[in-house]
Chains A and B, each alone.
Chain A
C-alpha cells in the first residue's frame, strides 16, 4: 500500500485529487494544474514534499564520505549552505540527484527523491564503511515548501530569522510559527522560495500557519501536476524521466557540477573517459514551432533519421507552447537545430533551445 505523508488528511480536506507517486499517495492537484501553476509564477504556492527523503551524514569523516559519494566539491559548501549534486555509480550513471545541506560543521543532510530513498540509503551505507554516522531521517522529517514571488513576504512574519539576509541556496536553523525548522531558501520551481524541514509531528501546524499567513497574498496549495510543469519550464530534471542510472551528469547537462579536480569520487574514471571519448547523447531543451504537445517517450527525428527521445514534455502554461527535455546525439544538440517530434501519427516541427525555458525576473 502507498505511504501517506503527515499531511494526507489536510490534502483530503482541501479536496485534492490523490495519485500514487514514487510509492506515496500524493495530491496531484487541488483546484487545477493551470491555476496552481500560474499562482506560483505570480503569487505563491504551498507544497507538501514530505515524501522526499532525508539522509544525514555526520561525524569527523562526514565530508570525506560526501566527497566520495557526490560529484560536486562538497568541501566548498559552507556551514548553512546548500548545493545541488548527483550520486553516481562507478559507470558514471546517476543514482539520484540530491540537495546537500550543511546543517552543522560536520553534518550534511541529503534531500533525496522519494522513490530513491531505499536505493540511496543502501548505496550510501555500502560506501560508508562506518567512517561516518549515517541516519535515514526520512520518516522523521516533513517538508513543506512555499514558492513564488511573494514567498518571502508570507514566510517572514512566521519565522525568527531575517529572510532578506538568507541568500538563495542558504539555510538557517530557526522556528516557523513556533516550531523548530530548518529554513532553506531552496526549491525546484524556478521561483524564489523556501523549503521548511520540520518534525513530521509538526507538519500540519506549519502547513496551517503558512496557509493562514498566505491567504491575503494569494497563496494556494499546489500538487504534483503543477510541480512538474513548473520544474520543466525552469529546465530542471526529473529523476526517473530525464535522469537515471543509464545517464551521466555530463550527458544530462550537469557538467558544471562535476569536479574532476577534487579527490576520488564514485564514477570519476568513467566520467573522465566519457568526456575524453565524447558523449553518446546530450540533454536538450525543445520548443514546438507550431502546436502539438511533446510527451515522455515520444520519438525525435531529423529528416528521415531518428534523432532521439523526449524524456519530459508538456504544454508550458507560462509560454503557452509545447516544451520538452530530451536526448539526442551531441551533433544535434546545438540551439536552433530543427527536429520533429513524432506525435501519434504526425511529425511536428520543433527547435532545440537553450535552457531554461522560463527564467524569473530578478528584482
Chain B
C-alpha cells in the first residue's frame, strides 16, 4: 500500500495536494484496493460547490457503489475528464492520472483537519484491525 509523504489524507480515504490555494483531490491506494476493479466514476461539473465531509462523486467497482467525500470545501475549478472513459486508471494510478477534481478552497483552515501520511498509515492499520 502506497502512502505518499507529500500528501494529506481524510478519514474517508481521499488524498489532497494543495498548491496556490487549489486542492487536487483523489482517492487513496488503500481505497482503490478495497474497492476492487473500478468500472465507473461520476464527478461534479466545473463550478460546482463541494462541502467538506459531503459526497461530491461516486466510484463504482464491479461489486459496489461508493461515495467519494469532499475532504475540503470550495469551488470545483477542474475535473479529470478521462476518468469517465477510463475508470480503471483509479486502480492503476490513484495518486497520479486518477486525480478527480481540483477545488479552490473556501476555508484553508480546513486543511488542519486532514491527516499526515504517518497519521493516515496508522489510521488505516487501525481500520484493518477492526475488520
Residues of B within 8 A of A314 (CB): 62
A315 engages B62 (CB within 8 Å): yes
* Chain A residues, Cβ within 8 Å of B5: none
The minimal Cβ–Cβ distance linking A59 to chain B, given in whole angstroms, is: 43
**Of the residues B58, B62, B65, contact of A33 by C-beta under 8 Å:** B62
Q: Which chain A residues numbered 1 to 54 have a C-beta less than 8 Å away from chain B?
A: 17, 28-29, 32-35
| Contact string against B for A residues 198-236, beta-carbon threshold 8 Å, 1 for contact and 0 otherwise | 000000000000000000000000000100110000000
Assess the A32–B39 pair: CB atoms within 8 A.
no
Min Cβ gap A112→B in Å is 24
Q: B88's closest neighbor in chain A, by CB?
A: A34
Q: Closest CB-CB distance, B108 to chain A, in whole Å?
A: 30
Binary per-residue interface labels of chain B (110-126) against chain A in the complex, 1 for a CB within 8 Å, 0 otherwise: 00000000000000000
| B58: A residues at CB distance < 8 A | 344
CA–CA, A94 and B34, complex, Å: 35
Say whether B62 contacts A295, CB under 8 Å.
no
Interface assignment of A317: CB less than 8 Å from any CB of chain B: yes
Are A29 and B40 also in contact (CB < 8 A) when A229-B62, A293-B60, A315-B62 are? Answer: no
In the assembled complex, the CB of B34 is this many whole angstroms from the nearest CB of chain A, namely 9
B65 adjacent to A34 (CB under 8 Å): no
Chain B count of residues within 8 A CB distance of the other chain: 10
A229 CB contacts on chain B under 8 angstroms = 62
Q: Interface size of A by Cβ–Cβ distance < 8 Å? A: 18
Q: Which residues of A have CB within 8 Å of B40?
A: 291-293, 315
User: Shortest Cβ distance from A329 into chain B, in angstroms?
Assistant: 27
Q: How far is the CA of A32 from the CA of B34 in the complex (A)?
A: 11
Interface string of A286-323 (1 = CB under 8 A from B): 00000111010000000000000000001101000000
Chain B residue nearest to A291 (CB atoms) is B40
Once the chains are docked, how many angstroms separate the CA of A17 from the CA of B37?
13
Chain B residues, CB < 8 A from A315? 39-40, 60, 62
Residues of B within 8 Å of A317, CB to CB, are: 62
A294 to B39 Cα, complex, angstroms: 12
With both chains docked as a complex, state the minimum distance between the C-beta of A330 and any C-beta of chain B, in angstroms: 30
Task: For the complex, give the distance between the alpha carbons of A32 and B39 in Å.
Answer: 12
B44 within 8 A of A: no
Residues of A within 8 A of B63 (CB): 28, 33, 225, 228
| CA A292 to CA B58, docked complex, whole Å | 11
Docked-complex contact B65 and A225, CB < 8 angstroms: no
Q: Chain A residues with Cβ under 8 A from B61's Cβ?
A: 33
CB pair A34–B37 under 8 Å, yes or no, is: yes
- Which B residues lie at the A interface, using CB under 8 A? 36-37, 39-40, 58, 60-63, 65
Q: Could you list 6 examples of A-B contacts with CB < 8 Å?
A: A17-B36, A33-B37, A33-B63, A228-B63, A292-B40, A293-B60
